[in-house]
Amino acid sequence: MEENKEEKALVGRPKKFKSAEEMQKKIDEYFQSCMTIKTDKYGNFMVDAMGNFILEQIKPFTMSGLANALDLSRRGLLNYNRDDEYYDIIEKAKRKCEMYAEERLFDKDGVRGAMFSLSNNYEQWANKAELGGKIGVGTIEEYIKEVEGESEY
């Protein structure tokens, strides 16, 4: 009986990452690849009062981008969440992507993409929005139209 358990454990595709530390390194590299050192109009690197380089985001943080950087499918990335060793690492990276999308809700150019990303990537983001003081009336698209002044209401 004990041998059957061991045999079952060996069935399936082996994990791409041998350790949580190896995955964390790749995650850090992904987020770093979305940034660059800010330059002034003369091309000089900008630094803060402490002498640290000022970073500027050049690419959005996305779940698909993170999965791609890890050479995983989006679903494969989320499947690592089932393993206690990787759970905290994946959750922290997901929160960083979620925070980026949520911040874009306050940016007129990014609001539609942010709404799509949040409603499709994060379970806690409802598909219903508050319209006219009534909770749960209408869709996200209707809410955006109302906010942008294109509503039929």
CATH number at residue 23: 1.10.132.80
Angle at 109 between CA 32 and CA 111, to 5 degrees: 85
Q: Is 60 exceeded by the pLDDT of residue 129?
A: no
Structural domain including 50 reads: 16-96
Q: Is 50 exceeded by the pLDDT of residue 17?
A: yes
* Inter-CA distances, 21 with 17, 26, 69, 137, Å: 9, 9, 15, 45
What is the spatial distance between Cα 86 and Cα 7, in angstroms, rounded to a whole number? 23
Residue 28 maps to a domain: yes
Residue 107 maps to a domain: no
Q: How many domains does the chain fold into?
A: 1
10 falls in which pLDDT band (50, 70, 90)?
very low
Which pLDDT value is given to residue 130? Answer: 46
Least confident of 93-102, 115-124, 140-149: 140-149
Residues 131/153, Cβ–Cβ less than 8 Å: yes
What is the spatial distance between Cα 40 and Cα 139, in angstroms, rounded to a whole number? 43
Chain segment 28-87, per-residue pLDDT in tens: 999 999 999 999 999 999 999 999 999 999 999 999 999 999 999 988 888 888 899 999
